[in-house]
Amino acid sequence: MHRRRTAIALSAALVAAPLLTACGGAPHAGAAAVVGGERITVSQLEGRVNEVRVAQRAAAPDEAQYEQTVSRTSSLTRDTLHTMVLDRVLDRAAKDAGVSVSRGDVAEMRSGLEAQAGGPKALQSAWLMQYGVAPKRLDASLRTEVRAQKLAVALGIDMNTTEGKTTFWKAMSQASKDLHIDLNPRYGAWDVEKSSRVDGKTPWIQEATAEPQQPA
């Protein structure tokens, strides 16, 4: 599949950029992040990561292949938190621009992507491998895609141009500022200018890779 995710792909490219303005206040007990006064708990984050690990294990033909996948996605926990926060930032930016997304919008995008990928299972597999999205989260991920595209339309921009990208991320930056995002230092900090998670200067903290818990 050659299509790149509008919001997440662009943000991933910005993670390596220099930190301009980071937001990271006092840690919140039990919270991986606080966004707009609402907590993303460590438990919620771990649950999302476990969903991906379970799906990756199910998709792997053997244990060796699964271990390779885990090694290749060793930053899954931080990447997942980045996505969870970014989705909320995008939601705020979209609401500020008067953008809404219907079930029909998501269904239309999913139908088109399934046709390109070769069916529902192929699309789920592609999203899992390329973006670390568990099959049960596919519709939510596609909703983010639609929301980003509709936000670009509302802003009157072309995301294929430098000017368009600058305008898009300016709106995202304002949403980040309005939400007063605070990450638990163990997961890094949030760069409000680029609406992106960045690694904090805590080299003694290592990201643990837990064994996936099979659903009961």
207 within some domain:
no
211 within some domain:
no
The pLDDT value given to residue 194: 75
Number of domains in the chain: 1
Q: Which two tokens stand for residue 210?
A: 């837990």
Residue 184 — very low, low, confident or very high, per pLDDT cuts 50/70/90?
very high
The pLDDT value given to residue 46: 97
Q: What is the CATH number of the domain that holds 172?
A: 1.10.4030
pTM of the predicted structure, to 2 decimals: 0.79
205 within some domain:
no
Q: What is the mean pLDDT of the chain?
A: 84
Residue 183 reports pLDDT greater than 80: yes
The partner residues of 106 in beta bridges, in order of sequence, read none
Read off the pLDDT of residues 7-59 as tens digits, 9 standing for 90 and up.
444 444 333 333 323 344 444 679 999 999 999 999 999 999 999 999 999 99
The pLDDT value given to residue 20: 29
171 within some domain:
yes
214 within some domain:
no
Residue 200 reports pLDDT greater than 50: yes
Q: CA-to-CA distance for 95 and 153, rounded, in angstroms?
A: 13
Residue 171 — very low, low, confident or very high, per pLDDT cuts 50/70/90?
very high
213 within some domain:
no
Domain of 65 in residue numbering reads as 6-16+24-198
